[in-house]
Chains A and B, each alone.
Chain A
Amino acid sequence: MYVAVKGGERAIDAAHAWLDRSRRGPVDQPVLDTAQIRDQMGLAVTRVMAEGSLYDPDLAALAIKQACGDLIEAIFLIRAYRTTLPRFGASIPIDTAAMRVKRRVSATFKDAPGGQILGPTFDYTHRLLDFRLMADGELPTEPLAEGDETEPAATPHVLSFLNRDGLIEDAAPDETPPADLTREPMELPADRALRLQALARGDEGFLLGLAYSTQRGYARNHAFVGELRIGMVAVEMDIPELGFAIEIGEIEVTECETVNQFKGSRSEPAQFTRGYGLTFGQTERKALAMALVDRALRWEELGEEDQGAPAQDQEFVLSHCDNIQATGFLEHIKLPHYVDFQAELELVRRLRAGLSDHEEDAA
């Protein structure tokens, strides 16, 4: 008798039990604590917060643990949690000029008011496996030099110095409330605020590839890193009952402003233009990539040529940068499709037989 190749409740339960076991690993090892993930796998945590669009290091650490380290799966867990949270209101825009910076570099000036601060970066490490980390012992940690981790005064943006001479485009404040792509369906063409929103939660790898493509000539936009800064900023919210804004917390963000060449157009003199990236946590690869892609997407507003490059095509970029959408649709091809495949089988057989369709009509 025919036995259906169909799963069912028992198969699903068994798969989940297996997953739980394999997540735990050998029981003679200590179980991984989410506080350890939060504090010792901090860059994974910030990526999950950035692309999950939810600033909560503890939940991000939990998601990473639950996802066995699969970061896209962890981002998905955070997104699914976030989507049902009630919205109490919107914060006022964060003031990144008032950031307590832990890292701040500019590639366009040797020095700038406020100084260059390397901070905790991989940039000049030699990528040699450090086997001491594998041994039981801890690495000796150097005491922080005098002045490190102290609170510097507000650090002005490097690009504001260029702005004084009119050498760089003016980023005029826009009071229009931005659309919220998590509450309203994306409408194309999207304005810059909405594009930046999509890029901020977009997949780091996808944006990295796109940004790289602009550097290699697919809509090259000659980006310099005007400034890259990482640090803590206050989040403030207007409380109507009080009549003023109060600080509701602090978040770490990475901000990147690029300076891009612009030869000018009929109406505009030659000046520098900007690309912008802003992400949760210490996520500087993502912020850099975001700034390059943002700049590439601005071709139309700046009167540049459409080179047909992927990074210039907002519909292409915005429709495909979300890794939760992408991975879902990619992976769903694992689900059964045998009904459609059967229809295709019939079709191919009929076409091969050179039959016209009326000979195999359904009853």
Chain B
Amino acid sequence: MSDQAYNFAYLDEDTKRMIRRAILKGIAVPGYQVPFASREMPMPYGWGTGGVQVTAAVMTPEDVLKVIDQGADDTTNAVSIRKFFQRTAGVATTERTSEATMIQTRHRIPETPLTSDQILVYQVPIPEPMRFLEPRETETRRIHALADYGLMQVRLYEDIARHGEIATSYAYPVEVAGRYVMDPSPIPKFDNPKLDDCPAIQLFGAGREQRIYALPPYTHVRSLDFEDHPFRATKADHACAICGSASSYLDEVITDDAGGRMFVCSDTDYCAQNAKGGA
């Protein structure tokens, strides 16, 4: 039951319209960061205010919502955001990826392939892929306007020169539909291939930085690389200690103070289904 003291999905209709317009422009220009007048939400910046605003603006009463953080449904912030929407929108929730119509995520893309009936909303801390090369917004805006991404290529190549590979393991930059370089949010680069040609709509919300961007379904998303150093999605070279999956992204769990450790799936729903033999 939703809390009647709030408008459906918390945000007022003026705010929703403003966010909806930004989302549509984001869809029309894939990978471009649309400025929007992010509101102060009842959770702190950094906790997913951008994702929450996007989810609230897109959600309908019939949606079935799944919220994950680090791939898991039971992490505290995922629980907190799920509860927020249960309370303010009264929507059904699920932990099953396949049952969800909307999924809000922090740091992961589910292992179970998404479908054309789903919308994936990412929480984004720093939407600007060039930010750590050029801190100035006035300058990065020019870089995107001119598609002048040489700085990024140079940085990636310096990595190769120094380390023999590109030393970026998460928030690995991508090129969208041959035009904009985009930050895919801090997902491990293992997840990058799932961005490409995805049947679901993917929306990205950065509340503190006041940016929304989007990937329409079936958009070509290429992880930046070089011909002689092609992009490779990597993960721990183990199988999950619970479900045995050799293909899912793994968390490393320290089990004792003598250095013992084990590897388990980061995607808790995938792991549970796989353990049952259902995935």
Contacts and interface: CB of A to CB of B under 8 A. Distances in A.
A70 interface: no
Given A188-B137, A315-B137, A319-B137, A2 B45 contact: no
B236 interface: yes
B253 A5 contact: yes
Contacts of B35: 185, 187
A325 interface: yes
A322 B163 CA distance: 38
B165 A356 contact: yes
B37 A183 contact: yes
Given A184-B37, A344-B170, A339 B247 contact: no
B186 A2 contact: no
B42 interface: yes
A354 B165 CA distance: 10
Q: Interface majority SS on B: helix, strand, loop or mixed?
A: loop
Contact of A79 (B40, B233, B241): B40
A327 B44 CA distance: 8
Nearest to B47: A332
Contacts of B36: 185
Contacts of B71: 339
B184 interface: no
A57 B45 CA distance: 25
A362 B242 CA distance: 18
B222 interface: no
A343 B137 contact: no
Given A319-B137, A339-B107, A339-B249, A344 B169 contact: yes
B94 interface: no
Given A2-B264, A188-B137, A335-B46, A7 B75 contact: yes
Contacts of B76: 6-8, 11-12
A76 B44 contact: yes
A338 B70 contact: yes
Interface in A72-99: 76, 79-80, 82-84, 86
Interface stretch (A100-108, A138-146, A239-247, A345-353): A345-353
B17 interface: no
Given A80-B41, A189-B138, A335-B46, A343 B188 contact: yes
Given A2-B253, A328-B45, A339 B188 contact: yes
Contacts of A187: 35
A361 B210 contact: no
Given A8-B76, A335-B77, A360-B237, A343 B169 contact: yes
A121 interface: no
A273 to B, nearest CB: 25
A342 interface: yes
A340 interface: yes
A84 B190 CA distance: 39
Interface string B180-203: 000000111110000000000000
A261 to B, nearest CB: 29
Contact of A357 (B39, B234, B268): B234
B164 A356 contact: yes
A338 B125 contact: no
Nearest to A184: B37
B242 A80 contact: no
Contact of B251 (A324, A329, A333, A339): A339
A313 to B, nearest CB: 9
Interface string B92-131: 0000000000000011100000000000000001000000
A6 B250 CA distance: 15
Given A4-B74, A183-B37, A315-B138, A346 B235 contact: yes
B214 interface: no
A363 interface: yes
Contacts of B37: 182-185
Interface string B70-91: 1110111101100100000000
A339 B210 contact: no
A73 to B, nearest CB: 9
B177 interface: no
B79 A329 contact: no
A128 B150 CA distance: 61
B246 A347 contact: no
Contacts of A328: 44-47, 49, 208
A362 B190 contact: yes
A324 B36 CA distance: 17
A346 B264 contact: no
A336 interface: yes
B147 interface: no
A11 B44 CA distance: 19
B45 A336 contact: no
Given A2-B264, A343-B169, A346-B234, A332 B249 contact: no
A333 B126 CA distance: 13
A347 B168 CA distance: 8
B251 A342 contact: yes
A5 B35 CA distance: 37
Which A-B residue pairs are the 8 nearest by beta carbons? Answer: A332-B46, A328-B45, A343-B169, A185-B35, A328-B44, A7-B76, A343-B188, A79-B40
Given A319-B137, A340-B107, A346-B169, 15 more contacts: A2-B242, A2-B255, A7-B76, A9-B79, A79-B40, A324-B45, A325-B208, A328-B49, A331-B44, A339-B188, A342-B251, A343-B170, A346-B234, A346-B235, A356-B164
